[in-house]
Structure 1
């Protein structure tokens, strides 16, 4: 893990906050693939940073912050995955030949490129330790030694997990469907998008449940229709923002297009409903790195006609 020298007069909290802005996209790339979900990965990132701030007050000897954050994220993600019993870890076998990171082996380069281009959700099909090693080596380009230190393994064990994980990931990619099927737009999302695109802010506020919650990255959670209603007040001042229904990881979401963005969404929102009212809004405007790894499937432009059989 790469981290510069520390000052003898460190302010741990200030240092952590400064590092956080730089490190969040990288932490998300790791956590999203570990969880098999860009949305769940961001939840782990936020939880990691909250836990780190609390832990700073209890630590006597300050650790190097970058590897420490990755270790917290790793442990938190594994706790969640184990609680779901997603996968059983496979036993370590003898280490296969893995090129050293200092060499410019063409096969190594090809394997790293395949890992970077692999859909986030497919990593969830790997056993946990293989998953962690492949992500750290092939996606984040960490050294074998740093991976061993983070995961409390020997370098030979890291090589074994890497070789097996790469082979399994290649099999998964070979079997994966090349195209996702189009889906109907739900009536609720169609109505929300249509009202937003026509700037019917009062109509949108009327859809909010009394106890609605708004999550926006590192900002405090907003609660209640009056407080969350300001969300639309802010968007009313931006101008030119357009929404389009979409899907990511099997969840119906809403892609957000900003002026000048062309055909590429800038970020997305995820909305939950209860009894026909909005109960939760997750807006990823301040965590735009998520869309870089999200395989968004957009509904056809203008396809917001309500489908009363879908929700």
Structure 2
């Protein structure tokens, strides 16, 4: 059941953190904390609300730690529709929030951010939001009205999307070796203490164990890698079919002294890529034969 909630938790956490990568870190941390806490509970809580509360509190801890939280006054509540059949203006506001780039939510004060995401992206009721955030319904309405107005300003003032940046030699080489299925050369790039993280799977540590990563991928003939950028971080887009217009998921690497010290593979949490503002490196853009469908 918890795994079924992961995509929804990520939609919330990614926007709260302003990053699909950090959002998934919060989701993983939330599930670990819930698993550890569960045996000490007198009775099992409603799972969805409980996990969202843990995720919300964990995200706030991280935001506070980097001094990203902003103080904000609570205006008097505005009239906000909360019915099963919202009016056209209400629907327009929700659609705008859903289509807003994940990173832009970080420009909202935290409570406004939480309320807008819960209401307009996840379609929670005002009463449910009030319970989750320990607010009155009127306070939720106030934060929602202010957040919606501010989000519209942010979208109107947003600049053009970032231009594609050239890939580094190291990532380019990694993608080339992978696409050539040169698994031995890829294993040779691994540091002795390399760590492989595949989300819900146990981490693999050490060259021998992490090297099995390539043994598994050797069975996936259609997988194709392309250097890309996401949230200022160099990543690798993973296409399961070279003709696909968008990558199926992504991975990213860390390097130390010319060797790979860390691999993060999002194969088993593909929902992370759904909201990712990923830009392929110029030389990695599909050629005519890749885009021919």
Per-residue deviation, 1:21 = 2.2
Q: Could you tell me whether the CA contact under 8 Å between 1:101 and 1:144 is conserved in 2?
A: no
Judge conservation of contact 2:227–2:284 (CA < 8 Å) in 1.
Answer: no
Alignment of 1:254-293 (within 5 A): 254-259=236-241, 262-293=244-275
Aligned-pair distance for 1:275? 1.0
Deviations 1:121-156 (A, max 9, x none): 111111110000000000000000000000000000
Q: Deviations over 1:86-113 (max 9, x none)?
A: 1313121111221223342111100100
1:231-289 Cα offsets, whole Å, 9 max, x none, are 00110111111000111111110000003762220000011111111011000000000
Q: Check 1:184–1:259 CA distance in 2 against 1; reply closer, same or farther (3 A cut).
A: closer
Q: Counterparts of 2:252 and 2:277 in 1: how far apart (Å)?
A: 14
5 Å-filtered alignment, 1:203-242, equals 203-242=185-224
Q: Which runs of 4+ in 1 moved over 4 A?
A: 301-304
Paired residue for 2:88? 106
Distance 1:194 1:105 in 2: 52
Query: What's the offset of the Cα at 1:62?
Result: 2.0
Residue 201 (1) aligns with residue 183 (2): yes
Partners of 1:288 and 1:68 in 2: CA distance: 24
CA-atom RMSD, angstroms? Answer: 1.4
1:180 deviation in Å?
1.4
Tell me which residue corresponds to 1:32: 14
Residues in 1 aligned to 2:5 and 2:84: alpha-carbon distance in whole angstroms: 24
Aligned to 2:115: 133
Aligned to 1:12: none
Counterpart residue number, 1:56: 38
After TM superposition, the structure 1 = structure 2 runs for residues 88-127 of structure 1, keeping only pairs within 5 Å, are 88-127=70-109
Equivalent residue for 1:82? 64
Partner of 1:174: 156
| CA apart distance, 1:224 | 0.6
User: 5+ residue gaps in structure 1?
Assistant: 1-18, 305-311
